[in-house]
Structure 1
């Protein structure tokens, strides 16, 4: 029997483990979900919305347990109190727009014809969720999928093994039928085999590019719908008219919060030459104020990375950049807790360029490179010089300028004077190797349903 384990970054211990389902047992679970969905989709939309919101409320009641479990599983300090703000904002917003988003598009309703396009749930939606924001990323699909009338099978990352259990428990206690929302433990091979066997009607995956490629290979020829949110290398651009202090505060937080393990975290920054020196100086001071340590300590503001192998990647990128001429500006002596393992000090690098891995490949850790630029044209060229495209953060007092630059940027979202945020009213989407599809907003509901056309002739 294969065991799925969560190795805690806090102390390297096995924090939790669960037996993985075999292929036949997993098929039986999906079959139960498919059967249960028939009654679920017949429930009035308002009733489904209410039950999902009750599940959200029930999870909030588990706050103390959730926050402590997150610290043990993936290292986020208890100081920050979990993910409830974003979790609630996303689920509540999707519930608030569901009636309009799922309403039929009426083309004609006359004495002769009724013609309309309805939104019909796919059936069984397979959600494969990541560990970095395990509740917020899961709810992006779970809430609207259930509201739309789908059954959901959730497979969470091994690093946050208990998250799926906690979500399922909250929703079941709120009244969502157990077989309508199933949490399962699967190894990668079994998950791929289920997809290839056409067990699901839609698959939503958030994770690595390699993981997304594996999903696409498994689904090849099945015509199963897929949504993918994969890697990122999100840039920030600070223009000459930017509010410098606000830019430093937001971009440094975006680069280092959650130990840099954010899907839309800031991973490279371009600063106009007139502000460059001041921006760098203020950024080093900002980052140096972190307190690295045990995430269960309320005074800790920067916890360990989720696994020592993730921290090793960041260290390798920093070392390669320095070997090529970059300078690391944050004094390592300020962070004696950096143990060479999962506990990793934040770092800012200058004299970087795009020949360095740290400016091209996803870092997903508390390290960021900063480059000086002459003008918008140079900044846009550098920001687009990436195989990823999730978000861009532009810093200026001129909204028209930001919108104009946005037209030339290869990205899913353009922020102005903001970063590292997911607006549930807007479609969360990416381009290039960041993936395809979109979640949240009206479009999120459309991706979790399919159009069905009705052409009803009333008079013969």
Structure 2
């Protein structure tokens, strides 16, 4: 009997969608079709590929009215913010399409008389994209559009929590009239995903998810000599210096901590504030946090939706309780958020002070609406604490001193350094991480390096 997946909505705990998992025959058919389609696709010009990809972006945007409430039902994103994900989706896709001619151009060394020499960038073949639920369009598009532009075929395995997103991608590609088999969306379980990775007909896997799941991906790929791009989360820090614009820092860091209920790999999860401004910063931060409206994400007034599952909320509640037992102080009274019901996916935002690095809430990824704030006495102390983590995805410095931000940024073990902003992916810059935040690069011209292979031409034409 064919296995089925039920999508349980965090809004009300009911089954929102149910689909059958792809069986072995469908997986085999997909791998064969992907290889066949890619062989022809790589011979298309970049302008032809761009026309298809731009049409797919247009098609996706045309579905916005349906996509926004779907997001709320699937993973709890308030409808007032749903369109923002599609704007980011389009921004990243359009940028990667636009830079493809330059990024994929041949590399030509200094000319040598009598020879034609260059390095061509060729597609890898078939790329498997394993996408997460928290930013289901943004994370997937980071690879899908560049992979197609580079001449590859793509198989998408989306998270079961956002399985309708995979179907939206497939529909957008269908409306754009992509060649049959070039892009395929498969609903897979862990076993069939591992089978595809170990099959030998996939040349690159790009995965976004947990560290433990990333290890499973690497194990499945063992011995296959394929590329592996891993974005595995973070515990992203922010440092607010004494010269920071306090109002701007508070406003942006509250948003960076609690947008999407804190369910972002690059959400701000720990704050270090110069002791000179610490009391005022904390007071302002807590006051702004209290203004969130926790509730049904389908309500336009809601600014904080539920976490993706009651289990996710249970984990964060546990981190908060443990920190309080170890001496932390909570600045937000959860009782002022009536929707916060123990055992549910609805969780009030929380701001903790009197925290330290022996507490899980300051060391382990929370992926929820909680942030700890510590005072620091110097740049050196702040940097030491920021680097005291197994993760290194992004970090932000809040100051009016550009030179100081660059100097301190060089000392932080992280993939991206922000100054006076946070929780944003600029598609012109490389998105990457260090330590347990992952390996590989998406976006920017460097993103194309991981979706192509080098082929050298050394041609002697004077003999």
TM-score over 0.5 for the pair: yes
Q: CA deviation at 1:41?
A: 1.1
SS at match of 1:15: strand
Distance 1:97 1:139 in 2: 15
Distance 1:89 1:155 in 2: 22
Alignment of 1:58 onto 2:59? yes
Alignment of 1:425 onto 2:428? yes
Corresponding position of 2:378: 375
Corresponding position of 2:266: 264
Distance 2:138 2:218 in 1: 24
Q: CA deviation at 1:446?
A: 1.0
Q: CA deviation at 1:174?
A: 1.0
CA deviation string 1:86-124 (max 9, x = no partner): 111101111111000000001255651111011111100
Aligned partners of 1:262 and 1:364 also within 8 Å: yes
Distance 1:391 1:52 in 2: 29
Distance 2:369 2:357 in 1: 19
Q: CA deviation at 1:306?
A: 1.0
SS at match of 1:105: coil
Distance 1:59 1:334 in 2: 39
Corresponding position of 1:189: 191
Choose the corresponding residue for 1:255, options 254, 257, 262: 257
Q: CA deviation at 1:194?
A: 1.6
Aligned partners of 2:130 and 2:207 also within 8 Å: yes
Corresponding position of 2:441: 438
Alignment of 1:398 onto 2:411? no
Residue segments in structure 1 that go unaligned for 5+ positions in a row: none
Q: CA deviation at 1:25?
A: 2.5
Residue segments in structure 2 that go unaligned for 5+ positions in a row: none
Distance 1:111 1:414 in 2: 44
Q: CA deviation at 1:81?
A: 3.0
* 4+ residue segments displaced more than 3 Å: 108-111
Aligned partners of 2:57 and 2:172 also within 8 Å: yes
Distance 1:210 1:178 in 2: 35
Corresponding position of 2:131: 129
SS at match of 2:108: strand
Q: CA deviation at 1:215?
A: 0.4
Distance 1:417 1:272 in 2: 15
TM-score normalized by structure 1? 0.99
Aligned partners of 1:111 and 1:458 also within 8 Å: no
Alignment of 1:350 onto 2:365? no
Corresponding position of 1:387: 390
Distance 2:201 2:321 in 1: 45
SS at match of 1:42: coil
CA deviation string 1:332-373 (max 9, x = no partner): 122011122101100000000000000000000010000000
Aligned partners of 2:233 and 2:266 also within 8 Å: no
Aligned partners of 1:412 and 1:430 also within 8 Å: yes
Distance 1:310 1:248 in 2: 26
CA deviation string 1:299-328 (max 9, x = no partner): 111111111111111111001100100011
SS at match of 2:230: strand
CA RMSD of aligned residues (A): 0.9
Aligned partners of 1:126 and 1:204 also within 8 Å: yes
CA deviation string 1:245-282 (max 9, x = no partner): 11111111000001001111000000000010011100
Corresponding position of 2:461: 458
Corresponding position of 2:168: 166
Choose the corresponding residue for 2:303, options 265, 276, 301: 301
Aligned partners of 1:234 and 1:268 also within 8 Å: yes
Distance 1:325 1:109 in 2: 68
Distance 1:276 1:177 in 2: 58
Q: CA deviation at 1:429?
A: 0.2
Choose the corresponding residue for 1:103, options 92, 102, 105: 105
Distance 2:238 2:5 in 1: 38
Q: Which moved further from structure 2: 344-353 or 306-315?
A: 306-315
Corresponding position of 1:79: 80
Alignment of 1:448 onto 2:451? yes
Q: CA deviation at 1:199?
A: 2.7
SS at match of 1:28: helix
SS at match of 2:157: strand
Aligned partners of 1:27 and 1:199 also within 8 Å: no
Aligned partners of 1:17 and 1:161 also within 8 Å: no
TM alignment of 1:205-244, pairs within 5 A: 205-244=207-246
SS at match of 1:168: helix
Aligned partners of 2:237 and 2:271 also within 8 Å: yes
Distance 1:113 1:2 in 2: 59
Distance 1:173 1:279 in 2: 50
SS at match of 1:408: coil
